[in-house]
Structure 1
Amino acid sequence: MRAELSRVLALQADRVRSTPLSQLDRARQGADVTRAELVRRTAQVLADLAADAEGRPRRELPHLALHGLGDQLAVTGADVLAHGDPPALAAALEAVLELRRGL
């Protein structure tokens, strides 16, 4: 599970980093929220999972500029990878896969 999350997370973080900013700032056809908002929501889910795994309080992530979203996703995912138990890893994987479908 950890290896699969690591692989999928790296692919999606790179995908976000390489997506033109103008596309990140728009919703996909038929979607209600922008791609950037999907990335932000996923990063927040990952941050919450990491906080729970470390036994620390959940905190709202800072609202980064579009060009920082890929890194925010990678960092929050790395925290889950470092501290998450199997259920947290499974939840993180599902969140990242859902992001992949939404982008």
Structure 2
Amino acid sequence: MPDHDELGARDLRVQRTELSRFLDLQADRVRGLPLARLDRPRSPDGPSPADAVRSAAQALADLAADAEGEPRRPLPRLATHGIGDQLAVVGHDVVHFGDAAALAAAHDVVAAVRRAL
């Protein structure tokens, strides 16, 4: 991650730091919620918060794969108690490898998790 050689590297470092903090807060929030609440849809025909977190984790994994020049792969469907960790791991891959556009897109994905909880 050669930030020091890139134009605007300071801004990119700030973006990485802010995304990392925001991601950690939301992953901790997911980990701290009761499993029953995560699995219960907010509306009869809507997704559960757990489904929203899984979808966000997949979106982050896709952003990370694109940033690394790797093929996109489906994430395994973890039990509800593991989705906070999954979100954190794939999110930090984006923090580490993503460019400014990927970091901004990841921030939007994590913001959607916050709203879903």
Normalised by the length of structure 1, the TM-score is 0.96
Residue 20 of structure 1 corresponds to 34
The runs of 5 or more residues in structure 2 that have no matched partner are: 1-14
Name the counterpart of 1:74: 88
Q: How does 1:23-102 map to 2 (within 5 A)?
A: 23-29=37-43, 32-102=46-116
Residue identity over aligned pairs, in percent, reads 61
CA distance in 2, matches of 1:70, 1:98: 14
Question: Does the residue aligned with 1:32 lie in a helix, a strand or coil?
Answer: coil
Q: Is the CA contact (8 Å cut-off) linking 2:27 and 2:85 kept in structure 1?
A: yes
Which amino acid in 1 is paired with 2:25?
A: L
What value does the CA root-mean-square deviation take over the aligned residues?
A: 1.2
What SS is found at the alignment partner of 1:14?
helix
What residue ranges of structure 1 are gaps of 5+ in the alignment? Answer: none
Structure 1 residue ranges, 4+ long, deviating more than 2 angstroms after superposition? 28-31
Determine which structure has more spread, i.e. the larger CA radius of gyration.
2
Q: Secondary structure at the match of 1:16?
A: helix
Q: Separation in 2 of the partners of 1:79 and 1:32?
A: 29
Q: Secondary structure at the match of 1:3?
A: helix
Q: Would you say how many aligned residue pairs link Structure 1 and Structure 2? A: 103
Identify which of structures 1 and 2 has the higher relative contact order when contacts are C-alpha pairs closer than 8 Å and 6+ apart: 1
Q: 1:86 to 1:31 in 2, by over 3 A?
A: farther
Q: Quick one: which amino acid aligns to residue 98 of structure 2?
A: G
Q: Residues 9, 30 of structure 1: CA spacing in aligned structure 2 closer, same or farther, 3 A cutoff?
A: farther
Aligned equivalents of 2:45, 2:104: Cα separation in 1 = 25
Inter-partner Cα distance in structure 1 for 2:44 and 2:112: 16
